[in-house]
Amino acid sequence: MLVIEYKIKAKQAQYRAIDEAIRTVQFIRNKCLRYWIDAPREANLKRFDLNKYSTELRNEFTFVKDLNSMACQASAERTWSAISRFYDNCKSKKTGKKGYPRFQKDNRSVEYKTSGWRLHPTKRRITITDKKDIGELKLLGKWDIHTYPIQSIKRVRLLRRADGYYCQFAVDVVSSDIQSATNNEIGLDVGIESFYTDSNGYQEPNPRFLRKAESGIKQAQRRIYKKQKGSAGRCKARARYSLKHLRVSRQRNEHAKRVARNVCKSNDLVAYEDLKVSNMLKNHCLAKSISDASWYQFRQWIEYFASKLGKLAVPVPPQYTSTECSQCKRVVKKSLSTRTHVCQCGCILHRDTNAAINILQKARSRGGHPRSNAKGVATSTLVGGNLLEQVATKNLESPRL
């Protein structure tokens, strides 16, 4: 699945109409969630029951009826996606919080399926045909949506971000770019001191986008509270604050994407640690630095490009990769402040280089995980993430597609 995104140019009245459609989607989702919560346990509601309830809401509320019927169904399906994820976490006995569905208050998108929209013959404009009075929108961008048939467009999504409004097309195509073999293999050890260290000893610098922008973000946040509540000045201050966070989010994504693509193009096998980043974020001393390094996002891009380029991406268990000697396999215990690995066998390496070599050796021996082609995180029109390019992974700025 390919996600193609354009920026929207329209009139202020059309922007207000899009906001009204987004609020309607949020209303439907919250009503469906309340319907599921209040239902008796014996009812055992399913996805179809929520779709049926969204139809009842259309008959009850005029502003819901003005929204396209398939957009109402998509909103109900979002609710069921959250509910089913909660059920799966309970069945798998996931430790900690199970992700009980919550009422939404910050929805920023409305999603149409195969109806409710019509593309202009030039495919540079799109018309929303429901009764929300959104009308014709101009599409700004470099993507060639006209190269794909209309039948392959499975979803159209209008999205509000801090810097404007966007239109996303979920196109049902397979994207592949098989590269020739390079006969190179590499192990990657992600870190905070450097973005990653490979088994060849190279260290990619950590850009630390949040740390560099933190002073400006804090200053913008202070300006919000100096404005009177409900005033236009406060709204403008909040918009400036949101733009700074959006910029950091995009910088992280573009950096992780560029580095992951270069790594996958240069190597036939890429080995990395199978880290549970969500658990590591519970360490309050390192949580901000780990989030700023965007380890999980980097892993998702590695898996995506490995699948697209026909390369091999192998996750290995992280146990003992930092303490085990890469030459003699003796365990050398060390604290986080110790940055050099020194073993009795005479091996002296940077701590992260030693770990990267261990990761590559584990991948070669197929330890812990089957050695198979990585499958990129495919874009799902329901629960997949949204990106500026052809991938499906989580985007920090907007909810799931």
Q: How far is CA 162 from CA 3, 12, 115, 225, 398, in A?
A: 20, 15, 27, 19, 10
Q: Strand 194-198 vs strand 203-205: parallel, antiparallel, or unpaired?
A: antiparallel
Query: Which tokens hold the place of 61?
Result: 């509320």
Q: What is the pLDDT of residue 182?
A: 87
Judged against a pLDDT cut of 90, whether residue 52 lies above it is answered with yes
Residue with the larger pLDDT of the pair 336 and 18? 18
What's the predicted TM-score (pTM) here?
A: 0.81
Per-residue pLDDT band at 380 (split at 50, 70, 90): very low
- The residue among 302 and 332 whose pLDDT is bigger is 302
Helix/strand/coil (H, E, C) string of 248-271? HHHHHHHHHHHHHHHHHHHCCEEE
Q: How far is CA 102 from the centre of its chain?
A: 19
pLDDT beyond 80 at 373: no
In angstroms, the Cα distances linking 117 to 91, 127, 141, 319, 330 are: 39, 6, 19, 51, 64
Rg, Å, the chain Cα set: 24
Q: Can you tell me the distance from the alpha carbon of 118 to that of 98, in angstroms, rounded to the nearest whole number? A: 40
Using CA atoms in the order 20, 253, 99, 51, what is the torsion angle rounded to 10 degrees?
40
Q: How confident is the model at residue 70 (pLDDT cuts 50, 70, 90)?
A: very high
Instruction: Say if residue 208's pLDDT is above 90.
Output: yes
Which of these, 166, 118, 150, 123, lies nearest to 22 by C-alpha position? 166
Contact criterion met (CB below 8 Å) for 138 and 11:
no
- Token readout for 6 is 């354009």
Please say if the pLDDT value at position 185 is more than 60.
Answer: yes
pLDDT higher than threshold 90 for residue 376:
no
DSSP string computed for 167-219: EEEEE------PPPP---EEEEEE-SSEEEEETTS-EEEP--HHHHHHHHHHH
With bands split at pLDDT 50, 70 and 90, how would you rate the model's confidence at 95? confident
Give per-residue pLDDT as tens, 316-331: 998 888 888 888 888 8
pLDDT higher than 80, residue 379: no
Helix (H) or strand (E) holding 108: none
Cα 145 versus chain centre, distance = 22
Task: Give residue 282's pLDDT.
Answer: 86
Give the C-alpha separation, 314 to 367, whole Å.
10
- Of 354, 335, 352, residue with least CA distance to 343: 354
Judge whether residue 372 has pLDDT over 50: no
pLDDT at 21: 95
**pLDDT-based confidence at residue 38 (cuts at 50, 70, 90):** very high
Burial (0-12, 13-18, 19+ Cβ within 10 Å), 306: buried
The whole-number average pLDDT for the span 225-248 is: 93
Distance CA 124, CA 169 (A): 13
Q: How many whole angstroms separate alpha carbon 99 and alpha carbon 204?
A: 35
Give the pLDDT band (50/70/90) at residue 97: confident
Whole-number pLDDT of residue 393: 34
Q: Answer yes or no: is pLDDT of 85 > 80.
A: yes
